[in-house]
Amino acid sequence: MINQIAMETRDYFLPILDFFDGEVMDFIPCLNTENTGMIAIEVKFGHGIHFVLYQTLWRGYYYATRNGEQISHTYSMSKIGKDTHINLQRFINDLYSGRFDKLKTPTEKYLKYIEDNNLTSYMNKTRWNQVFDIIRQIEEQTGHDVFINYKLLAEEAEDGYWTMRGDEDLPGINSRYFQWLKLRPIHVTRVYRGRLLEDEYTSENHTDIFLEKISKTNIKYEALEDEEGTFIIYGYK
């Protein structure tokens, strides 16, 4: 179904939009029948920037990319109307005129941040995958979630801790952007004892399991002195 909807979007807009000297890329059908979104139109311009119109089952989105990375905001269109192409054409005009030429890709931003802060890399994709595998193994073995917190390069750290399952952004993050990750292999249970009594807290410490598993890797970690039971793994330091 998504192929049909994307093709209908493509057939509607291609004749009425002016891409100047941009090269309209071939339509690549989606082979996964469970996918709910795909690229309907992609146009490559001479200065290396692409216009992308991404179609889902519910609405369309358009944005600019360079080197396969998004550099502009994402703009949505809930349905195709008689004036929809006007907004699209304005965006294409801005793109063609060079409005987005100086915008940096995420990779370019992170590389500048690394250089400006004199950071050294300690991790790679394989090692980060090992870290997340260890967390999953602890959760499967104990039946309890491991709480995490992480900071991405060039972004502010967030307060508090959360779980991998509850983090919708985590699967889409490129592992090269993790500046550090904290994990706390301690499960705390709150027991409600009635309106007149204070809640009771019990904890299960799974630190031994974490240390046993990570000792079998070459991953460096540190125990945080100011956060009991918490470990930190640096991607950059």
From 150, 216, 197, select the one nearest 177 (Cα to Cα): 150
* pLDDT band of 84, cuts 50, 70, 90: confident
In terms of pTM, does the model score above 0.85? Answer: no
What mean pLDDT is predicted for residues 206-225? 95
Whether residue 108 lies inside any domain: the answer is no
Rounded CA gap, 27 and 196, in Å? 66
Whether residue 148 lies inside any domain: the answer is yes
User: Which of 82-86, 169-173, 204-208 has the highest mean predicted lDDT (pLDDT)?
Assistant: 204-208
Whether residue 112 lies inside any domain: the answer is no
Domain count, the chain: 2
Whether residue 109 lies inside any domain: the answer is no
Rounded CA gap, 31 and 28, in Å? 9
- Is there a single domain that holds both residue 179 and residue 85? no
- Is there a single domain that holds both residue 209 and residue 129? yes
**pLDDT value of residue 71:** 94
- Indicate whether 46 pLDDT > 90: no
- Is there a single domain that holds both residue 222 and residue 175? yes
- Is there a single domain that holds both residue 130 and residue 230? yes
- Is there a single domain that holds both residue 65 and residue 164? no
Max CA distance (Å), the chain: 75
- Indicate whether 191 pLDDT > 80: no
Rounded CA gap, 200 and 101, in Å? 58
- Is there a single domain that holds both residue 61 and residue 143? no
> What are residue 192's phi and psi, to 5 degrees?
-75, 125
Whether residue 144 lies inside any domain: the answer is yes
Higher pLDDT, 190 or 126: 126
Whether residue 119 lies inside any domain: the answer is no
- Is there a single domain that holds both residue 133 and residue 179? yes
- Indicate whether 199 pLDDT > 90: no
* pLDDT band of 192, cuts 50, 70, 90: confident
- Indicate whether 147 pLDDT > 90: yes
**pLDDT value of residue 83:** 80
- Is there a single domain that holds both residue 93 and residue 157? no
- Is there a single domain that holds both residue 37 and residue 91? yes
- Indicate whether 93 pLDDT > 90: yes
Domain final residue, candidates 48, 72, 103? 103
Question: Could you tell me the residue range of the domain that residue 208 belongs to?
Answer: 125-234
- Is there a single domain that holds both residue 194 and residue 139? yes
* pLDDT band of 114, cuts 50, 70, 90: very high
Whether residue 47 lies inside any domain: the answer is yes
Rounded CA gap, 22 and 10, in Å? 15
**pLDDT value of residue 161:** 94
- Indicate whether 89 pLDDT > 80: yes
Rounded CA gap, 220 and 90, in Å? 50
- Indicate whether 26 pLDDT > 90: yes
Q: Which residues contact 237 (CB under 8 A, 6 or more apart)?
A: 119, 120, 122, 180
- Is there a single domain that holds both residue 91 and residue 134? no
Whether residue 158 lies inside any domain: the answer is yes
- Is there a single domain that holds both residue 130 and residue 219? yes
**pLDDT value of residue 17:** 96
